[in-house]
Each structure stands twice: as structure tokens, then as C-alpha cells.
Amino acid sequence: MTKAPILSVDGLRVTFRARGRTVTALRDVGFSLQAGKTLALVGESGSGKSVTSLALLGLLPPNGAVAGGNAFYRSRNGETVDLAGLSARAFRKIRGREIAMIFQEPMSSLNPLFSIGEQIGEMLDLHEDLDAATRRRRIVEMLELVEIPAAASRLSSYPHELSGGMRQRVMIALALVCAPQLLIADEPTTALDVTVQAQILELMRRLQREMGMSILFITHDMGVVAEMADDVAVMYAGAVVEEAGVGELFAAPAHPYTRGLLASIPRPDRPEGERLKAIPGAVPPLFALPRGCAFAPRCSFALPACQRRVLLMEVAARHRAACIRAQEVLADA
Amino acid sequence: MLSSVADPAPAMLKYVLNRLVGMVVVLFLVLTITFVIVRVAPGDPAALMLGPDATPQDAAQLRAELGLDQPILVQFGKFLLSAVQGDLGQSLFFRRPVLSVLAERAEPTTFLALFSLIFSIAIAVPIGIFVAYRRGGLADQGAVSTAMLAASVPSFWTGLVLQRWLATGLGWFPASGYGGPSSTFLDRMGYLILPSIVLGIVNSALILRFTRASMLDVLGEDYIRTARSKGMSEARVVLKHALKNAAIPIVTVVGLTFALLVSGAVVTERVFNIPGMGSLVVGAVLRRDYPIIQGTLIVVAALYILINLLVDLLYLLIDKRVRY
Ligand SMILES: Nc1ncnc2c1ncn2[C@@H]1O[C@H](COP(=O)(O)OP(=O)(O)O)[C@@H](O)[C@H]1O
Ligand SMILES: [Mg+2]
């Protein structure tokens, strides 16, 4: 942690208005992403990963709003901007050029009525001023970079003519064509089958080595985390409950929830026949969260004191957890 | 835009030819149906033409002259044969070829339909887009309820009210008619402004509701979020990425409103006393002028088929996934 992080989120809160009620989807999200590194944001479905990513780019649906916290982003020219309170106009300068995003659904994330070339070209048109030949060359180069075969002949293809894996490659090409500093990838391989998933992950690692961008990688898959991430932030019910380097987290989780997550992934090195341990109970709905630690009702370490607010605290070097018994959990590993 | 597809021209041509063959079949059916409807309708046209004082002999002679005494299949064969030669028969009332009578009345109706279509698209599409973007807002609620009201008020009533208020009252428009024999083209078009608005109101309501619903659907799509994530203006998100996707249902409903225009023109021409095809056909029905009724139906059907073809061709231009 010598350099300042490129993205530093603290206490981020997001609320939604739904049927006259206000629900808090993000209660307390905090993490920091080092320049050139990959931070995995991991958590069960519904824990608020997508909402976090959308909030960072100002893309929340109309009924959602950032209700507190900061997200300091260090832009290319060295300025620090708070993404948590940015105007629509200021976001337009950030999106695509500084921070780009790829989404979970490669099937529906590309506009069906515009060709691949038009959609990637539009990104260039928005942020750079290129002559026609350079523009075309940049699009073809980018498609080659994401390993689309016969790239030049693909410019006039439409999304429906491509497979899911190819579409996700196009999405990546689109996101990276203006060489953003930060790529937010929201479950980019969840909708793809396993072999394609491995190819896309490999591609993203290679592109990161070559282009040097930072990646906020969102996933619910601990296996993918192990493969992709330098650091990990674990989310539970709208809050980050643990943040650590990937090695530290896998070796010694400090939050009982993380521990449960890790125990529930199948691993070939486990003795044959050892049962996977599922976490008992279910994620509580957002409108019925318990006081204090939201995980306490499912937690074997829970104490009465867990009903008080628990903050993310340093438990070891480069390792933070939101659990009052973190030291015991660590020692128990 | 078409040049980006491999080579769509032959496929497109084949498609259009196929459609034209289909159109011929449909036209034949239309001819058959109009023929049958007109023959089974009650009342003897010869007697009607001659009036109450005519003798049965006079009537029989006229029937022979008109060919109405021949076997029905012979009548049908002759009818088809002349129809393909562009001869839709003689008007019983005007005693002139049907097509020339129709041609005389075509100008006001054509421009009435055209202006009202332009008016309704110009009003409804932008408002539909805007209120979909601001869904649930005051403008949205206002537009939706106004559209519902407009669609449920009969156009003769709207016509009479606007005629009273804007023409007779404020004098902004001529109240009725289509100018004298010496009036210029522009003068005549001036007579059509208010009727076009009246006729356009009902269609506006329909187009507005479709535009809004279609835009609402599209604005919730993932690719709209992708478009926003690229850093473009909201106007560009809505008018480029969303509108193109919403266009197919909008084009469809605009095509469908043509059917409403036909019935609307009949009413509107009556209210504003415009000598168009609408008032022609009303008169023809009252006088049992079968050839005119028949001719009008055929022309309208042919136009309808043509508009459907245009709509389908527009689909192909908008969406490359549509198969020929
Ligand atoms: N448009 C919305 N309106 C209301 N609530 C929402 C909306 N979008 C998300 N939420 C709430 O936020 C929670 C987190 O969603 P999300 O971030 O999509 O989870 P995930 O971690 O699976 O990506 C959801 O469980 C839902 O209750
Ligand atoms: Mg998600």
C-alpha cells in the first residue's frame, strides 16, 4: 500500500423507493482498489454487488439514489473526484473514458439494431476525435485484441450473429477501446458456459497485463476470485464485511460469513466424501435486517453484543473485518 | 445502411415480388367480396335510379342496359375483366366512369389523410417519447389521461366543437367547404387544416399510447444502460439507442391508423362539408350507387395493402434481424 488507491469507497449508502417504501440496498460499503490491481467484490446474489457498481457510475435506476458515503476516484490527470456526489454532466466525462463497465448479460447488453463496428465506433466518437481511417483501425485492433476471429469482417455484424462468448468479447472491446483506467466487470462470465468462462477470464488477465488498467471484478464465485483477484471485498446484505488480500483471505478468513463461503466451495484437495458445509438459514430481506450485524442470526460465533453496530476494523496487516470476534475467528482457522 | 449487409438487394427484390403476388390475390378477394356484398344488398338500383314514377317496363329496360338481368356469374366475369383493365364501371348516379368520379374526389381526401397523419405523428411521437422518459410524472399522467379522453370522444363531436370555436367563433379557419371553382390549390389546402386536426386527434391518442408503451419497454433494456455507460448525453441515449428499438411498434400503429383514417374521413368530410371520397361514398350508399361503393372499397383496399407493404419494408430498414 505504497501508492494511493485509484478508487476508495467508504460508507457508501444506496436507497431505493419501491411502492411508497424506502429500502436501503447498500448500508455500508467500503473498499479500496489499488492502481493496476484487481479487487474482487464477492457475495451472494442480492447482497448489493450490482447496485454498488451502478452507483459508482451514476447508473442507478430512477428509483434509486446514493444516500451517503464517498467513492473517491483518482482520475487520469491526478484529480480526485467523489463519484458518490457527481452531477450527470460530470459523470459523462468519467464514463467510458475513465471508467468503463461490462455487464453480466452479454445477450442483452449490446444494442440489437446497431452493428458491432457502429457500437464500438460510437465509444470512440464520444471521447476522441479521429479521422475515419484511424477510427476504423482502432476498432479492428481492439477486436483483434479481444481475439475475435476475422475482426475486420466483423465490423458489420450484428449482435444476434454472434455467440454469447463472442458478444462478451465485443463488450470488453467496447469497454476498453478508449483505454479506461478502471474497468468494472459485473459478473462478466456468469452467463457463459465453463470453457468460454475460462477463456474470457484469461483474456481479461492478459488485457490487464498489456493495458495496465485496474479492475473491479464482481462475482459470486469464490473459484473465480481465487483466479482473478489481488484483493477481495466480501459483501453481505448491503455491507462489506471483510476486505483483504486474496492470499490472506483464503488462508485465514476473519469474518464467520467469509469462512462459511469458503467452506461451501467444492475443492479437489478435500478428502473424498467430506460434505460441503452450507451456511444455515437464508439472507434476510433488506426491509427486515436485524439490528447490528446482519449475519448474526446465522452465525455460530454470535453474541448478544453483535446487536450493536459493527464497523469494518483492521484485524491484521492489509486485512479488515466487521466482526467483534474476528481475532477468535482468525485464530480458529 | 443496407450496404453493411452482405448483399441484400436480390433478397429484398424477391421479397417485394412475393408480396406483390400476394397483393394480387388479396385484391381478387376484395373484388369478389365487394361484388357479392353489393349484389346481395337490398333494393333494385334501376328502380331507384328512375324514381317512384317509373313503370316496370322502364325499369326492366334499364336493367338490361346495365347488364343487371344477366346470370350472376356472367356479371361477375365481366366485372373482373373490366376491373383488371382499370374500368370499375359507370356510376349509376353520375352516369360517368367510376374511376373519373373517384379521381375528382381524391384530392381533398388524400391531403386530408396526409395532413392528419403528419399532424398526429408530429404531436404524438415526441410527446410519447418525452412522457415515457419522465414516466409517472405530472406530464405523463396528464398525457395519458388526455389521450384516453381524446380516443373516446367521437370525432364528429370534436369536429363540431372545434368548428364552432376556432372557425365560426375566432375565425382562424374557414368553417366548411373546399373553396369555389376558382380557388387556388393553397386556398383549398387552407380548408383542410381544421378537418385534418380533428381527424388527427383520435390517431394521435393511439400513436401516443403506443409510442409511450414501446419506449417504456425499451428504456428498461440492458443495452440502454450500456449506452449510458459509454458517456453519451441522455438525448442521444433516448433518441438514438431507445427510439430506433421502439420504432417498429410505432411504425406498425401508424400503419394501422390508416384504417381509422378511412372511417374518420367519412365523418370529417360530412362535418366540414368537404367534397371528398368520404362524402362521395355516403351519398352513394344513400343512392345505392353500387359501382361507386364498389370502386371506393377497391381503391381503399388497394391503398391499405400498399401501406402494409410499406410498413413491412420499413421494418426491414430498421431491423436487420427481420427475415425477408
Ligand atoms: N430497482 C430496484 N428497486 C428496488 N430495489 C432494488 C432495485 N435494484 C436492486 N434492488 C435491491 O438491491 C438488492 C441488491 O441487488 P443487487 O445489487 O442486484 O444484488 P447482486 O449482489 O446480486 O448484484 C436487491 O436484493 C434488491 O432488493
Ligand atoms: Mg448482480
Instruction: Kindly state the average pLDDT of the residues B1-21.
Output: 66
The architecture (CATH level 2) of B98-318 comes to: Orthogonal Bundle (1.10)
Give pLDDT, residue B70.
Answer: 83
pLDDT in tens, A151-210: 999 999 999 999 999 999 999 999 999 999 999 999 998 888 888 889 899 999 999 999
Indicate the residue of A97, A105, A113 with minimum beta-carbon distance to B318: A113
Which residue's alpha carbon is nearest to atom 5 within ligand 1? Answer: A16
* Mutation to test the A interface, candidates B133, B223, B233, B321, most A Cβ within 10 Å: B223
Q: Would you call A93 and B221 a contact, using CB atoms and an 8 Å cutoff? A: no
* For helices B290-318 and B98-133, angle between their N-to-C axes, nearest 10 degrees: 40
With CA atoms as reference, the chain A residue closest to B244 would be A113
Reported as a pLDDT band with limits 50, 70 and 90, residue B186 is confident
Reported as a pLDDT band with limits 50, 70 and 90, residue B60 is confident
* Mean of per-residue pLDDT scores for chain A: 91
Of the two residues B250 and B180, the one the predictor is more confident about is: B250
Using an 8 Å CB-CB cutoff, list chain B residues near A191. none
Q: Rounded CA gap, A101 and A176, in Å?
A: 9
Reported as a pLDDT band with limits 50, 70 and 90, residue B231 is very high
CB-based contact A245:A253 (threshold 8 Å): no
Q: Would you call A109 and B231 a contact, using CB atoms and an 8 Å cutoff? A: no
Question: What single DSSP character describes residue A95?
Answer: B
Nearest chain B Cα distance for residue A86, angstroms: 14
With CA atoms as reference, the chain A residue closest to B220 would be A61
pLDDT higher than threshold 80 for residue A143: yes
Give pLDDT, residue B19.
Answer: 80
CB-based contact B273:B219 (threshold 8 Å): no
Q: Rounded CA gap, A172 and A151, in Å?
A: 14
Reported as a pLDDT band with limits 50, 70 and 90, residue A270 is low
Cα dihedral sign for B133, B135, B138, B144? positive
Give pLDDT, residue B39.
Answer: 74
Every domain of chain B and the residues it spans: 98-318
Indicate the residue of A91, A109, A127 with minimum beta-carbon distance to B223: A109
Instruction: Kindly state whether A18 is in contact with chain B, defined as any CB-CB distance less than 8 angstroms.
Output: no
User: Which of ligand 1's atoms lies nearest the C-alpha of A218?
Assistant: 23
Q: Rounded CA gap, B62 and A295, in Å?
A: 97
Out of A248-257, B5-14, B212-221, which region has the weakest mean confidence (pLDDT)?
B5-14
Q: Which of B269, B298, B300 has its CA nearest to residue B282? A: B269
Strand extents, DSSP E, A141-189: 182-186
C-alpha atoms less than 13 angstroms from C-alpha of A116 in its C-beta half-sphere: 29
Q: In angstroms, what is the span from residue A192 Cα to ligand 2's centroid?
A: 15
Instruction: Kindly state whether A123 is in contact with chain B, defined as any CB-CB distance less than 8 angstroms.
Output: yes
pLDDT higher than threshold 80 for residue B320: no
Strands A239-245 and A231-236: antiparallel
* Mutation to test the B interface, candidates A50, A60, A98, A113, most B Cβ within 10 Å: A113
Pocket of ligand 1 (CB under 6 A): A 16, 18, 23, 25, 43, 45-51, 61, 63-64, 286
Distance of CA A320 to CAs A35, A77, A247, B105, Å? 19, 30, 14, 84
pLDDT higher than threshold 70 for residue B324: no
Indicate the residue of B231, B245, B319 with minimum beta-carbon distance to A96: B231
Q: Which of A243, B42, A130, B5 has its CA nearest to residue A142? A: A130
pLDDT in tens, A2-16: 467 999 999 999 999
pLDDT in tens, B121-157: 999 999 999 999 998 888 999 998 988 888 888 878 8
Instruction: Kindly state whether A70 is in contact with chain B, defined as any CB-CB distance less than 8 angstroms.
Output: no
Give DSSP secondary structure letters for A265-320: S--TTSPTTPPP-PPSS-PPPGGGPPSS-TTGGG-TT--GGGGS----EEEETTEE
Distance of CA A169 to CAs A39, A102, A140, A228, A319, Å? 21, 10, 13, 17, 34
Q: Rounded CA gap, A171 and A119, in Å?
A: 9
Instruction: Kindly state the average pLDDT of the residues B63-91.
Output: 83
* Mean of per-residue pLDDT scores for chain B: 85
Distance of CA A265 to CAs A276, B144, B156, Å? 7, 52, 72
CB-based contact B231:A96 (threshold 8 Å): yes
Cell of A215: 479492475
What does the angle CA A43 – CA A47 – CA A51 come to, to the nearest 5 degrees? 110
Cell 490527470 belongs to A77
pLDDT higher than threshold 70 for residue A275: no
- What percentage of chain B reaches a pLDDT higher than 90? 22
Task: Count Cβ atoms within 10 A of the Cβ of residue A66 and give its class: 0-12 exposed, 13-18 middle, 19 or more buried.
Answer: buried
pLDDT in tens, A36-73: 999 999 999 899 999 999 999 999 998 999 999 999 99
Question: What single DSSP character describes residue B167?
Answer: I
Reported as a pLDDT band with limits 50, 70 and 90, residue A273 is low
Cell 486485512 belongs to A319
- What percentage of chain A reaches a pLDDT higher than 90? 71
Nearest ligand to the C-alpha of residue A48?
1
With CA atoms as reference, the chain A residue closest to B319 would be A113
Indicate the residue of B225, B231, B245 with minimum beta-carbon distance to A97: B231
Strands A7-18 and A21-33: antiparallel
Number of CB pairs, chain A paired with chain B, less than 8 A apart: 68
Give pLDDT, residue B1.
Answer: 38
Nearest chain B Cα distance for residue A309, angstroms: 35
Cα dihedral sign for B240, B242, B245, B251? negative
Of the two residues B34 and B224, the one the predictor is more confident about is: B224
Instruction: Kindly state whether B222 is in contact with chain A, defined as any CB-CB distance less than 8 angstroms.
Output: yes
Strands A38-42 and A231-236: parallel
Q: Rounded CA gap, B102 and B295, in Å?
A: 8
Which residue's alpha carbon is nearest to atom 20 within ligand 1? Answer: A46
Instruction: Kindly state the average pLDDT of the residues B258-284.
Output: 86
pLDDT in tens, A295-310: 999 998 999 989 888 8
Distance of CA B169 to CAs B163, B173, B175, Å? 8, 10, 9
Task: Show Cβ contacts of residue B96 under 8 Å, excluding neighbours closer than 6 positions.
Answer: B90
Using an 8 Å CB-CB cutoff, list chain B residues near A93. 231
Task: Show Cβ contacts of residue B288 under 8 Å, excluding neighbours closer than 6 positions.
Answer: B41, B43, B45, B48, B92
Whole-prediction pTM value?
0.84
With CA atoms as reference, the chain A residue closest to B226 would be A109
